[in-house]
């Protein structure tokens, strides 16, 4: 991927080709759209276990995402340990209480009203897995010298989107959670200062009485999110 010494460019024949007809492409795209329309963010989980290898394969899928200079500047800490999940919840809720007590500002709190959130985050201990996403702002060679990573936020965001899609495809529900600030996650998970936590993803099966806010089903139409210049 990268090294202190110069690396030469070596092109390889494209290993995978789909070769679909126009009709097949339309069918595949429509199937995927229908699949993703069944993805829902939930806040009510069961504690039903999820096999580690399922989570591992979804993270492997995230690792296939494109990245700046192919540096792959991401790290995913998958946590199932109950004591560690409890620590994450305790520290996250401490930040959330400050957020809802005025740290966020009136406009932000008002924007969250139709979502129905508050400072209580039981999903952080109920969901069988928490995946904490870290962005690697720089890397280090074996001798301790640093190297720069490129397009880090863009690369990590793409990989996170792939991860959420993979988890949904595996039949799991997720909830993205971004307490602010999140520096406590470095200490809780023993991650270096070069890594910046970007979010916590709760992963598991939905509770029998799980619900979604009605506003979450309102999606912008195509004409508001895209333009075709032909």
> For residue 208, what is the DSSP state?
T
Tens-place pLDDT, residues 126-157: 999 999 999 999 988 888 889 999 999 999 99
Are 141 and 57 in contact, with CB atoms under 8 Å apart? Answer: no
Highest mean pLDDT among 59-68, 104-113, 210-219: 59-68
Tens-place pLDDT, residues 183-192: 999 999 999 9
Element (H, E) at 107: helix 106-112
Residue partners of 44: CB distance under 8 A and separation at least 6: 123, 206, 207, 209, 210, 211
No. of helices (H) and no. of strands (E), the chain = 8, 6
Q: What is the mean pLDDT of residues 26-31?
A: 98
CATH class belonging to 40-214: alpha beta
pLDDT over 70 at 1, yes or no: no
Cβ neighbours, 10 Å, residue 189: 18
- How many residues are there in the chain? 230
- Strand order across the beta sheet in which 195-204 lies: 74-79, 129-136, 195-204, 173-177
pLDDT tier at 3, thresholds 50, 70, 90: low
Boundaries of every domain in the chain:
40-214
Q: What is the mean pLDDT of residues 114-130?
A: 94
Are 147 and 70 in contact, with CB atoms under 8 Å apart? Answer: no
pLDDT of residue 2: 64
**pTM value surpassing 0.85:** yes
Q: Which residues pair with 196 in a beta bridge?
A: 135
């Amino acid at each position: 991927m990268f090294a202190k010494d110069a690396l030469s460019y070596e092109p390889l024949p494209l290993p995978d080709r789909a070769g679909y007809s126009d009709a097949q492409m339309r069918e595949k795209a429509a199937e995927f759209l229908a699949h993703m329309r069944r993805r829902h963010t939930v806040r009510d989980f069961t504690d039903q276990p999820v096999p580690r290898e399922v989570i591992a394969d979804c993270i492997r899928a995230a690792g296939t995402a494109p990245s700046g200079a192919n540096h792959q500047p991401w790290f995913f800490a998958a946590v199932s340990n109950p004591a560690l999940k409890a620590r994450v919840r305790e520290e996250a809720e401490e930040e959330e209480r400050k957020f809802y007590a005025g740290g966020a500002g009136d406009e932000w709190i008002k924007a969250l009203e139709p979502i129905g959130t508050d400072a209580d985050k039981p999903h952080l201990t109920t969901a069988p897995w928490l995946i904490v996403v870290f962005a690697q702002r720089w890397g280090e060679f074996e001798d301790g010298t640093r190297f720069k990573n490129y397009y880090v936020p863009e690369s990590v965001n793409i990989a996170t989107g792939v991860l959420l899609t993979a988890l949904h495809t595996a039949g799991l529900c997720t909830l993205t959670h971004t307490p602010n600030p999140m520096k406590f996650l470095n200490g809780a998970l023993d991650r270096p200062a070069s890594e910046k936590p970007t979010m916590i993803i709760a992963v598991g099966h939905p509770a029998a009485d799980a619900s979604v806010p009605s506003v979450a089903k309102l999606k912008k139409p195509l004409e508001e999110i895209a333009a075709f210049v032909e």
